[in-house]
Every structure is written in structure tokens, then in C-alpha cells.
A and B are shown apart, each in its own frame.
Chain A
Amino acid sequence: MRYVDEYRDAELGRALSHEILSAVEPGRHYKVMEVCGGHTHSIYKYGIDDLLPENVELVHGPGCPVCVIPMGRVDDGIAIAKQPGVIFTCFGDMLRVPGSSGTLLDAKAQGADVRMVYSPLDALRVARENPDRDVVFFAIGFETTAPSTALTLRRARAEGMTNFLCMCNHVTIVPPLRALLESPDLRLDGFIGPGHVCTVVGARPFEFIPVDYGKPLVVSGFEPLDVLQSVLMILRQIGEGRCSVENQYTRVVPYEGNLRALEVMAEVFELRPHFEWRGLGFISQSGLRLSEAYADFDAERRYSVPGVRVADPKACQCGEVLKGVIKPYECKVFGTACTPERPIGTCMVSSEGACAAYYNYGRITRERETV
């Protein structure tokens, strides 16, 4: 596959691996957090851990859009899905996220019309094809997917549609990162920046990380060579005593981001005063809802939802995993009570979730070089 295979070249990978080895200070342990679930997925899919020395540890951050959805929001979604006449649409991973009494897939088996879509535009098409029914799109994701939801809503309004609704769970990446950096039990040496989010928001919003917290961040692409190169760039910054935002993903990410995407987001969304994150609790100004101009499309305004906050299951340590405090296998229920087929916590659901990625791909003993 052209333009893809080039970034998966095994020989270049080995060369980068050697450079990383020589950039590591002997005896020092490095913890680098990849913020984005897309990176977590790549790291396991390609076995990138095998190409890193043992003292470079990758910590999986809070950037899996499915994993951060709290149980209460799933319950609200199920309540809407069960309303008569509603067609409820969402991405495939979301179907298996447990609420307090079952998943959307269970609701579907009980008769709710729940359909998997690959894009909000698919949901809009379903709405066009079913003019006498309300079609609700359960929107999730960071700034990566928010613009496509926004454009879809803009199109729905332009077409004068009244049966297309959005239950908005979009979130923004900077507030949880700040919350993480404030948390006392965190020890990280640097960040692999979320390349997809940065295509929209640019690299600028992350300047506070080196400035306020003294940690380097390298905006990274998602192919295995991208990830290795970003690790190397972080290690070099540390080795040279530097600390700044660098952009490894220049082929896609402009420093200022995508202004047109930001513009449509500003038109369609507004910040919620606070939003609950799975395992991280309420974080101020971290979630998006539909703006007044789009109030007619807001599913939460048309349908009443329980809106009850459901505490995470006691045994579940998703929060600590999301914060990078513990590795997935250090969770008390990992791999026994909590497995991808019967997840307790959301980190075990999506292929981008730290626990599911480790369970599905990473569950092997690795022999690596120690420096």
C-alpha cells in the first residue's frame, strides 16, 4: 500500500531503535505517555514495545474517546434508544460499553433500534431515509471527530431536517491533560502528543505543558516509524536538557491547526461548565454540547434522560489506568473478571483502550534490552 508501507519499514524501524538505545542514559527509567488511544493501538498492533529498551516505558493516557465515557452517559443513551420510534446510531465500539444495567447491544437485543454507523453522515442518511422517525446520533470523541459531527449538524440544518438529533459527548483534550499533570501520583518524563487532535487544534494549545510543567511533548503520527521517531525526539530533548513542543507529524499537522474546522466547531458547539470523565471525575470546561443555535438538534433537550451519575464499579481501576498510575495488568480485575468479552471498565472495550489493547495484543512476556 503506497503512502502507508513507507511508514512501516522494518529496516528503518531497527535503525530508529538503535538510535533510541544510544539516546538513553544508562540506568535511568523513562516514562513517556502517549495521550491518544490511536497511539496505544499502534504500539500494540505493531509490537513497538519490542523495539524499545526496557527502561523506556510507554504509559497509556486518557485519549481513547470510548474509554472516557462514564456509565451514566451510557444509561442516558440507552434511555433515549428505548423511546418509541427512535433509531439510535453510534460507532461500533460504543455498542459494547457497559452502563449500569447493560450495553447498547443488550438494548438492541431487547428491541431497541440501535444501529452501528461509521460516520455521522451515515446517521444523517438514516434520518433522510426514515423521515417519520427520530434518528439520534450518539456523538463521541475529542477534537478529532467533533468537526465531522459539527459539519453534519450544519448540513442537517441546511436541509431543514427535523428528525435528526445529536446526543453530544464530545470532549476536549487539554483540560484532562492539565488535570493529569496536576495529579500528585503522576511521574512522567514526556508526552507523545495526539496527532489527530492536533490536525484540528494545532500544536499551540500544548505549549503549556513545557511552559507550566516542564515536560516535553512531541506531536506524533500513528504509523510505527512515527511513534519511534517521536520517542527518540522526546529522549533527545531530555538528554539535551531541553523542553518544548515539537512536531514530528508535520506532513499533516500545521502549528495553528485547521482554522475552518475550529470555526465550524465554534458555531455548533459550546463548552459545558463541567463534564464527567470515566475514572477522572468531573473536569471543568472539558465537554462540548450543542450551542443555542443548534438547540433543536439536541437529543438531550427533546428527550428527558435519567442524567444520574453512576459510580464506577468499585473493582474497576480505569481511572488509575487512564492516569497512567498503573499498567493495565496491575488492575485487580484485569483479565479475570474484566475481559474484552465481559468488560467491567471502558478501557477494556475499545481497541484503543489501554486494557483491551494490552489484553488483545500485548499479553506476552517480552525480552528487551536494558541499558
Chain B
Amino acid sequence: MTGQTVSEREQRVLGIIETARAKPPRFRDERITMAHGAGGKASSTLIEGLLLPAFANEALAPLADAGQLTVGGARMALTTDSFVVRPLRFPGGSIGELAVNGTVNDLAVSGARPLVLSLSLILEEGLTREVLEAEVQAIADAASAAGVQIIAGDTKVVERGHADGMYITTAGVGEVDERASLSPAALQPGDHVLVSGLIAEHGTAIMLARGDFELDAEIVSDTRSLWPAVDALMDASGPSLRCLRDATRGGAASVLNELARSARVGIVVREREVPVRPAVAAAAEILGIDPMYVANEGVLVAVVAPEGADAALQALRRAPGGEAAAEMGVVVGDPPGMVLVETAFGGRRVMDQLVGDPLPRIC
């Protein structure tokens, strides 16, 4: 077999795979496994194969971080998120702080100024007052820092052994900001891909806090409200902002894949430009995990038209926690739906959606 026929056949197979990948995912699993919660391909089958068809409507269809609706002429955004993190407290934060910032950030990256939250607490029998009070205080502090009020709530208690201390669900309402019009469909070849800070800090901090690996490093969660960063971005380059995404579960890689798929464009990431703290890179290296797939709780990915990219980067760098913000890639026309990496070593590879679950229950 000569080299030529091999590459022709390879080409054809690549085409077949892309066709298969472009099909809407189907939910065919007999039971839920932990992979369905990991934010990767199994999660997509659950959401796009089961939930989306059942509730089909225009606001839900884009599967954005928040749904949008018009109330009395005002454009509003609504989102909700549940938190099942273990352990409840970890370096740099706790479940209460995550529960506020997670929902605030879903609103922020939808281009909406966060206004109010609701709070549901599912508490496990036996939870101590000390732990509960600490989390309630963390929730109050985070809400105050993010400038949102908690105006509705609910509490439930379940038997011992059922909720790992506590689970929290928050929902949030925000007002869509007119300075930018954000949509993945707006992505154009040539757009710049920015990241708002050091990646993989939250997931790594949790992983080490669990103590399963006997690794020690001073890595703390990056949980924070992203609204100040989004606010600054809109001021600096509002009209050139194409789309923002909160790089939580599944990490920056999953966000980029979602964008590439929904906009039918390619994205090329320059590995050398991705900001990763050396201690985080070292932990990931030892555990065989790619930091691009590790969760963040205070990092967004911004796609910006070329003319607004410099101003956007400067704005991100001035925002809290944004000193390391970087331009890490570019939108390309081909291959559509795929994310490629130019490795620091000088080769290229595909960066696909996450399969399986490197680390469950991180948020």
C-alpha cells in the first residue's frame, strides 16, 4: 500500500466521522452513570438527546448558560445551577460561595447583569450547626460581593447518608446588557479567542483537597464573580464581542468544543499561550490530566472580533483575577466543528470533547 492510498482512505474515514459527530446525540444509556455528570459527551447526550427535545422552545434551544425572555419590554436572563461538591470546604472557597458565583457567572457570560437569586438548601440529617452557619455566611458574603440579593428560597432535610452534608441549588435573574449582543452563531474565521485568567485552578484545588493523591501544593479555587470582567469587556469592546462562555465543568476544552460545534467553525488553540500556573501544570502532569479539561469557577472564554481583541485583552487583565488573561487561539473556517491544538512542541492534535469523568463532584 502506498502512502497516497492510505491518506485517501484516511481522508474518507475522517469525513465519515465528522458526519457521525455532527448528528444530534441520542440518549441511549440504560442507566445514569457518573459520566453523564461530567460535562463531556455523555452529558451532551443527556441534555440534547433527552431534555432538549422534551422541552423544545426557542429560549432553551441555543443551550446557552442562561435562557432569555422579554418582560415588559426588558430583556431578562434566567439560569439555575445545583452544587454537589465534595468536600464542602476547600482551599479558596466552599460550596456556599460556589453556589452564588456559579449562577452569577452563568448570567454574566450571557451578557446579563446579575440582579437576584433564589436559594434551595438540601441538608443531610446530622449536619452540624457550625458547618451550616459557615455556609450561610459564605452565601451571604458572596452575594454581597457579587451585588445580588437572595429574594426566595427553600429548605429540605434528607436522611443521613443522602446528601454529603448539603446540596445547594440556586437560580438567578439578570438584566441583559445592551452594550453587546452575544451568540455563538456570530463566530467568524479570524476572531480571536481570549481566556480571562489562569486555568484549571478550581478542579485541581478540589482534587488535592480530597487528599486521595497525597500531593501537596498551594493551589486555591478561583471561585469569583465574573461580572466585573464581563462589565469591563463590554465597556472596552462591546460591539466586537461575539460570545462569552464560563469554562466550568469540562474545562476550557469543552467550552471551545461547544462553540466550534454550534458555530460550525474550527478553533485553533496555541498551547504555549494558555495560562497555567506551574504548580497546576505539575499536578496535572503527575495525574495524567490535561489542564484544558479541568474545571474553573472564575474563568471565562471570550471570542472577540479582531478589531476589539486588544482592548478586550487589556480589559480582562485589569479585572479581578485577570492578570494572566491571554489570547490563546483563533477561529478558523476549516475544519468546521473541531478544536485543534498547536502543541508547544510544534505538532498539532485534535482537542475533543471530554469522554468519561476524570474527577466527579467538583461543583
A interface residues with partner B (beta carbon < 8 Å): 1, 4, 8-10, 13-14, 29, 44-51, 54-55, 57, 92, 95-96, 105-106, 108-110, 118, 122, 224, 327, 329-330, 334-336, 339-341, 351, 359-366, 370
Contacts and interface: CB of A to CB of B under 8 A. Distances in A.
Interface string B311-354: 00000000000000000000000010010111111111111100
Nearest to B282: A1
22 contacts: A8-B344, A8-B345, A10-B346, A13-B346, A29-B3, A44-B349, A45-B349, A46-B347, A47-B341, A47-B342, A51-B345, A105-B35, A106-B33, A108-B33, A330-B13, A340-B356, A359-B352, A362-B349, A363-B338, A364-B348, A364-B349, A366-B348
A23 B258 CA distance: 43
A29 to B, nearest CB: 7
Chain B facing A: main interface SS: mixed
Interface stretch (B4-12, B101-109, B116-124, B156-164): B4-12
Nearest to B340: A364
Interface string B275-316: 000100110010110000000000000000000000000000
Interface string B51-64: 00000000000000
B40 to A, nearest CB: 8
Most buried by A among B281, B344, B346: B346
Contacts of A110: 31
Given A1-B282, A118-B213, A47 B17 contact: no
A208 B243 CA distance: 59
A10 B350 contact: no
Contacts of A92: 356, 358
Given A1-B278, A330-B9, A364-B335, A13 B345 contact: yes
Interface string B1-44: 01100110111011011001000000000111111000001100
Contacts of A340: 41, 352, 355-356
B20 to A, nearest CB: 5
B130 interface: no
B212 interface: yes
A1 B350 contact: no
B349 A329 contact: no
Contact of A45 (B7, B30, B343): B343
Given A341-B41, A360-B350, A109 B33 contact: yes
B16 A363 contact: no
A327 B6 contact: yes
Contacts of B351: 361
A329 B9 contact: yes
A106 B348 contact: no
A285 B2 CA distance: 37
A92 B346 CA distance: 30
Contact of A360 (B13, B42, B342, B352): B352
Interface string B141-152: 000000000000
Contacts of A96: 356
Given A105-B34, A360-B352, 9 more contacts: A1-B281, A29-B2, A47-B347, A96-B356, A109-B32, A327-B10, A334-B17, A361-B350, A361-B352
A46 B282 CA distance: 17
Contact of A122 (B20, B35, B212, B344): B212
Contacts of B287: 118
Contact of B285 (A1, A29, A109, A370): A1
Nearest to A337: B20
Contacts of B342: 47
A49 B7 CA distance: 13
Nearest to A225: B345
B16 A336 contact: yes
A55 B345 contact: no
A341 B355 contact: yes
B33 A329 contact: no
Given A46-B343, A341-B355, A55 B3 contact: yes
A46 B341 CA distance: 9
Contacts of B213: 118
Contacts of A9: 345
A47 B346 contact: yes
Most buried by B among A47, A362, A365: A47
Given A45-B343, A340-B355, A362-B349, A335 B17 contact: yes
Contacts of B278: 1
A61 B151 CA distance: 61
Contacts of A334: 13, 17
Contacts of B32: 109
Nearest to A55: B3
Contacts of A14: 346
A47 B343 contact: yes
B348 A47 contact: yes
Interface in B170-222: 212-213
A335 B13 contact: yes
